[in-house]
Amino acid sequence: MRAAITPIADGNILELNWTRTDPTDEFYIFLHFAELEKLQENQSREFDIIYNDSPPFGPLVPPYLEALTDYRTAPLSGSDLAFNIKKTEQSTLPPILNAFELYMVKQFSQLVTNQGDVDAMLEIKSTYSLMKNWQGDPCSPRAYLWDGVHCTFDNVNALIITSLDLSSNNLTGQIPEALAELIHLATLNLSGNKLSGSIPRPLLERSKTGSLSLSFNDNPDLCQNMSCTNKEKKTVTVPIVASVAAFLVLLAAIGAVLFGLKKRRLKEHWSNRANVRKPAYTVKGGLARFTHLEIMDMTKGLERRLGRGSFGTVYYGELKDGTQVAVKMLAPSIQGSEQFQTEIELLIAIRHKNLVSLVGYCDEENKLALIYECRRIELETKRLQIAIDAAQGLDYLHCGCRPPIVHRDVKTRNILLNENLQAKVADFGLSKILPDEEESYVSTRVIGTAGYLDPEYHVTKQLNEKSDVFSFGVVLLELITGQAAVIKSSTIRTNLVHWVSPMLDRGDIWSIVDERLQEVHSPNSIWRAVDVAMACVKPTAVERPTMSNLVTELKECLAMEMDAGIDGNIGDRNSDFDEMKPVIPYTAIAPRVR
């Protein structure tokens, strides 16, 4: 990447082509760019890329001393392969290419390794941070076996690992239990390392019965039998048991007292709810409790509906002090739920700058309602910052709450904005109020919205954190394209993911990007954001990133914007109390053809 090629005599096009011996072969190509010159104010370098006969896409602007990689998600086809890098009319400098990689798809007929063995080997690799050629499948293809691994076939047509040689690898620490999970292992050599601690009991027992040939010589700090393990246990068992027992007795006594006090307070609080009729704002932990009459008063008889969701209908309201609120009248299926009381306590406890705060509730006469903070928006919004804020809110639900909370209905209408244009995720706690839920963070009840629902649900019948990631990916695509999650025409309805995929497979990114973004955002940042969105909407959960990963990726996109001196404003984005609607306006303008 420290060097680059340009066209001869400052030409306008870089051409690379070759002829394939087998037209059926498939290739994937990766092009790498980096600007190596410090350009003057009157200089610019941008170019389009043309693969074979596909339409050109770009322009690409290589960042200064940073790598930019362009690749196609679909293989190149045809007997002749070619790609051209063409200077744009606005560019004053010729195109460049720093490096490229070409990968040919090889079809293997060999079997793959038993999944249990693969999982164990990956854990061993992670434990010891091995830098061997341990990539891909441990046993297949046979020409690329992992170093030290020997495999054979079993009776179910899968490869199994029967021998593992980790000798003289300078391994330190204890022997991982994952080695015992290689249940077909007949030979294990751990000699010549710096291992310590004891040998896992299953390995010793298999060695004793003769089913495993175990070598562990030249490990001075390794306990080589069960006696030292038992001895250590005997010396510490009595004091540990005594200490733990005393601690548990004390803890149980304290817990019983606290539980009794809390139960009595909650009983008194909820038993009096039918008698509350005055707008005295009975507050518990900063949360106001309203009567149904007060709800009708603040919403002027449910006059202004802001939206409808899986949990109920949302109305605009104002408190007597002028505070603007969103009142969610919960659906009949939720009314009467015994969990509602305890879930209110849960919602009070959840506080994060990117989660909507609950300011009140109503549970009178089977009329259940939640009152959220809500304000008008009269400024332009920044889409990238909205995405970061929403990602941070969801990440807190997944990683900052115990047990983790799965939103299950992530969509633009559940991302609200305050007067500082800070995005906040709404409706996150309602997924726990519904009756008949399992005591688990994996949900089996569908709450999602068309266009956002994880496609794996149709197979697994479960929603989890990666389901929220898929829905968030759709939100990202909405922010990027300006289109709705479900694009409707006079004849068909198309999911946004299905709409963008064919164009991205052709490398035609600019046909999906909202024209307003093209005018004010860095091209490199847009490319990065599209990659992040498409990673979220992978068909299987295991391929998707976590919300923590997404926060990092999106912040890097923002850093690219700031480095380019761009603030990322959307043009002409004015609204009046629009936060219960999608955070971006959908456009009826068709994407421009490039």
Helix (H) or strand (E) run with residue 367 in it? strand 367-373
572 labelled catalytic: no
Measured N-to-C along each axis, helices 496-505 and 465-481 cross at an angle, to the nearest 10 degrees, of 70
Cβ neighbours for 460, distance < 8 A, ≥ 6 positions apart: none
Q: Is 432 annotated as a binding residue?
A: no
Quickly count: other Cβ atoms within 10 Å of residue 379's Cβ. Answer: 14
Alpha-carbon torsion, ordered 547, 551, 553, 554, to 10 deg:
120
CB-count burial class (<10 Å; 0-12, 13-18, 19+) for 190: buried
Structure tokens given for 59: 């322009």
**Maximum Cα–Cα distance for the chain, whole Å?**
89
Nearest to 191 by CA among 170, 211, 212: 170
Contact 105, 14 (CB under 8 A): no
Question: Which one from 137, 389, 409, 427 is the annotated catalytic residue?
Answer: 409
Residue 447 CA from chain centroid, whole number: 19
Which position has the token pair 């070409």? 102
Structure tokens given for 245: 């027992």
Cross-strand bridge partners of residue 5: 97
Return the amino acid letter for 508: D
Quickly count: other Cβ atoms within 10 Å of residue 198's Cβ. Answer: 19
Catalytic residues, which ones? Answer: 409
- Residues at the annotated binding site for ATP? 328
